[in-house]
Each structure stands twice: as structure tokens, then as C-alpha cells.
Amino acid sequence: MSPRPWIADNDCSDDTVVPLPAKTAVGAPNWLAAIPYPAALIRLAGSDPQIDHCTENFLRTFPNLRNGFASADDPMAGEIRRAVTGFVIGKQAICHFEILRETPIGAETFACTLGWIRDLGGSGDHILLSALDRTSDRRIEESLRRELVSDTLTSLPNRIGFGEALEHMISSAKDTPSSEISVIMVDLVRFSRINESLGSLAGDELILSVAKRLKALITPDLILARLGGDEFAICRLLPNGLTDAMSLAAQIKAAVVAPVRLANFQLSIDCAVGCAIARVDEAEADELIRQAQTAVRTAKRTDRLEVYRPGVLSAARRRFLIESRLRNALSTGGLHLMFQPLVDLASNEITGFEALARWHDDELGPVSPNDFIPVAEESGLIVQLGRWALNESMRQLSRWDKAQGSIVPLRMNVNLSPIQMVRDDVISAISDALRMNGVDGRRLTIEMTESALVGDPDACRTLLNALKGFNVSIAMDDFGTGYSNMASLQSLPLDALKIDRSFVSDMLVDSDKHAIIRAILSLAQALKLKTTAEGIESHAVAEALRDMGCTVGQGFYYARPMTADDAFAYWLSRWEFEAI
């Protein structure tokens, strides 16, 4: 009769042993007791694995395996059995796998290893099974994982978690490839102002209030996330396409804009909503999120729901490239000024030039000011760009003076962005440009648009009054296209109005535009302001404006923007002609 197999008790100092039933086995090897975690020696009896020997803590960990695999009423036993069978059939040298066991207090995880023990004590080959309890490690990993994919303030999925959830939603809907999926982005308006005025705690309270309202809209087919700051996102499948997206967007808007009480203040908040939609079989999670973010940025400007349209994202990428290249151009001297003459309509003399920034990039080619000026304003580069234009234009006046050997009778018009007026110390920028180049302030005209008055009229008025201390002239550019009224015009220290080219170009054939120009000229005359008409392209238009009382003309009829040398030569030729 074969000796009965024994359990090696590696936890007991008195060498207590427990018999384990088996058909054929030899005594337990001494080294088995030295293994500090659950371990067992498995022998194949035909195609069935049998446990010959095991450690005491193996049975404490897997009590259902006391009678082997065949009688074990335990899903874990089935997993181990399948792993052993696959290990043998695959003729592997070593095998690692994990098994899970559900308990009332949560899942337990064991990292298991299978390896061969050849010719054990003359009883043939055995398989050594070891099981290391990784439950604590896995719970720590799960906790860290939750922190990685969750927003700590709202407990909603964060950007990473939302991306993963969206990918899962897309893959789960592949059986209906023609259906559509959407990402709706929600961005709170004026959140930064609330945060700055009432403090970060009030800002957090506002975020929590908005999150609670949005959670109330969530159904099982929706996923809500906070991507960061004041930006929320919702994804869902759209059985009815755009109609479903529009309906959800309207619900979101209604939920968010309801007044909220913060720090004893009742505030009305608003939000911008942007949406991106794609067919499931064409959708990519990252791309869909980027498209929705592009749409919500547009919605912040238009104050309405925006749905992403093809081409918008490529335009956004181009703006990003322009910003990167513009930053480099400003630091390496990659921009230059062109100069367009300003002509007195009565005497036909050149009274000055408008300085216009131009940019030709090695990678992008010629970039229109209509493209790079808005990017500069959005990115904050407008401050650096504006200071460069001021310094360079004043330097050019000084160069012309030196070339002429005396002060040339020319003024320089330089544009000042409303963004620069807010973000920069404009007074010091202008005074430094005048002082460093030895130019009198009376030779500089600052052009500003009507939109500069909208944000903070009082601050704008204070700034312009300070500029008058340097004898700098001030012209309102593109007049007639913005928000000016009589009260604001009367209160500002303006010297001139520039009539926008959109009125000038067709004034001889469009009676409405002709009437508008006449009204502007009458207004300027009443306020004792000079006027400059932009966009003059014919002699007939120039004469008509002169007869109507316009002071100065500018446009292709006289000259296109020119380099500094060409502009000086152009002035010199006309000046000498007039002198003769």
C-alpha cells in the first residue's frame, strides 16, 4: 500500500501534519514547508490534475480544494484546473495567471504561477502551483486608478475617464455602425470672474452646483464628466441624430442658467454649448472631443449652440500653427512694416503714412493680418506685436528724418488693439517708443476701433486723456461699423474719425452708403473732428469725398502699402513735384 500524502505545515513548529487523500503519492518534500505562501504539488492522473501535497496555508486559503479539483464546488477551482490543463497541453516551462474570488467584502485577487518539478522522489513529474495574495495591491491600484480617471471635486469622470468611457461607448455600438454618437461640451461663461471676485471656495461651490444640475439630467445612456476648470462634457448615442443632440443641449442650457446663490449673492450664470456628432463606424474618441471643444469655443463667441462642421478643426490647427510661428517671428525679427500714404484731399499732399504689419513665414508663406492679428489677440501676443509696431514705426520716422537731413513733415498712424489697451501699460509703451527714437508725440496718431469702448469706457477714456499729455493724436478706426454713440464721442478726446472702406467703395452707386458717409462727415464737423476715408480706389470717389468735406483719403487709388524705402521715395517725388 502506498504511503499517504501529507500536508507540510509551514506555520506550525510542532510539525503537525494533516492527511490528504490521493491515489498515489510519496512523502511531502522538505522544501515545500519552506514556501511562505500557499503552494501545492499537482500530479496528472491521466488527464485529470490531482493535488498530492500542499502547504497548510494553501488549504486555509482554498478550503474547497481539500478534496481536490473534482469535488470542489468553487469557480476558482475550475479556473486553476483550466490553467493547469492549458499549461500541460501548451508544453510551457512556466505560466503566470490571476484568479479572482468574490467575497462579501469584495473581490480577492491571487497571482498564481505554474512550474515543473521533474521526477519528484521517483514519483514522476509534478507541477508546482503557488498563489500569492495580491488583494491589497489590487485594491490600492484600483484606488489609484479611480483617482486617475475621476475628478476629485465632483467625483465625475475626468478627461481621461471620459475618453475611456467614450471609447467603450463607441466600441459597444459597433453592431449598429450607421447610428450616430455625440459629445456635447459645456463651458461656463464668466467663471474666472466669479472665481476672482468671490474666491476659489465660491468657485468650487459653483462647480458643484452645476455638476448637481447636470447629474439630474443623466440617464443610463448618458455619460457626464468634468474635463477640468469650468468645462463639462456629455456623450450619448443619438437614435434620432441631430434632433436628440439639440434637445439635450436645450435641457443643459436651461439647467445651468438658473440663478444660483453663492456667498450671500444670487448670481445668474450662463454657459456656452458646443456639439460634435459622428457615425459610430467613423467615430474616434479623441477626435470627437477635440471637435466638441472647437465648437464650444465658437459658441462662446456667437452665444448660441454650435455644431462642429468639417474644416473648423483644421482651421483651429492652422491658428495654433500661426500662433507658434508668430511667437518665433516676434523673437527673431520675422515681421516687417509696410506703409500706406495718407493724402490731404484738398491739397493732394501726403500728410503721413499708416504703418501696417506684414508677415511672410518660411513654412506658412504670406500670412494675412486678418489671420494673424486675431490669433495674436487671442494668445496675448498682441502686446508684444503692438509694442514692436510702435517702436519700429517711430524708428522709421527717425530714419527718414536722418535721410532727409531735417524733420520730414510726415505723421505716422499706428493701430492699437483693444486687447493691448487692457493688458499692456500703453502709456509707457508709447512714451518709450517716442523717447528712444527722438520723435515728437505730435507726429504720432493712434488708431483705435470702436470695440475698445465696449469693455470699459471709463478706463478707455482715462487712457486716451493720458495719451493727450504726450500730444499724441487719436483717431477712431472703422467708424460706423461698431457701437459708438454721440455721448461716447463727445466724452472722448478724439481728433479724427476714419470712415470704413465698406461705406466708401460703393458710395457712388449706393445711395444708402452715400447718405451714411454724409451723416458721418456732418457729425465730425459738428464735433470739430477731422475725417479720413479708407478704401478710395478711383479719382471720382476721391473728388466726391473732397467735395463732401472729407479731410484725408487713403486707398489703392493713391498707392498700395509699400516698403519703407519705396514709401520715402514716393513721398519725396510728390513733395518735390509740389514744391516745383
pLDDT at 19: 40
Tell me if 25 is assigned to some domain. no
Same domain for 500 and 359, yes or no, is yes
Same domain for 156 and 251, yes or no, is yes
Tell me if 377 is assigned to some domain. yes
Tell me if 262 is assigned to some domain. yes
CATH number at residue 458: 3.20.20.450
CATH number at residue 210: 3.30.70.270
Regions of the chain short of the pLDDT cut 70: 1-27, 47, 70-73, 263, 309-313, 453-455, 481-488, 576-580
Nearest CA to 431 among 390, 461, 398? 390
Same domain for 339 and 234, yes or no, is no
Tell me if 321 is assigned to some domain. no
Tell me if 8 is assigned to some domain. no
d(CA 209, CA 227): 16
Same domain for 94 and 173, yes or no, is no
Alpha carbon of 361 to those of 236, 335, 340, 365, 376: distances in Å? 42, 9, 22, 5, 15
Nearest CA to 474 among 532, 396, 521? 532
If one counts every other C-beta atom within 10 angstroms of the C-beta of residue 227, the result is 23
Same domain for 363 and 278, yes or no, is no
Same domain for 100 and 155, yes or no, is no
* DSSP 8-state code for residue 70: T
Same domain for 197 and 259, yes or no, is yes
Please state the pTM of the whole predicted model. 0.57
Same domain for 294 and 385, yes or no, is no
Q: Which residues contact 189 (CB under 8 A, 6 or more apart)?
A: 269, 270, 271, 272, 300
Tell me if 549 is assigned to some domain. yes
pLDDT in tens, 250-296: 899 888 888 888 767 788 888 999 999 888 888 889 999 999 998 99
d(CA 111, CA 438): 80
Same domain for 106 and 185, yes or no, is no
Tell me if 347 is assigned to some domain. yes
As for how many domains the chain has, the answer is 3
Same domain for 409 and 261, yes or no, is no
Nearest CA to 252 among 219, 212, 213? 213
Helix ranges (DSSP H) in 351-381 = 369-379
Same domain for 406 and 292, yes or no, is no
Tell me if 324 is assigned to some domain. no
Element (DSSP H or E) covering residue 20: none
- Quote the cell numbers at residue 408: 520730414
The domain containing residue 447 runs over which residues?
A: 331-579
Q: Which burial class, exposed, middle or buried, applies to 8 when counting CB atoms under 10 A from its CB (0-12, 13-18, 19+)? A: buried
Same domain for 341 and 300, yes or no, is no
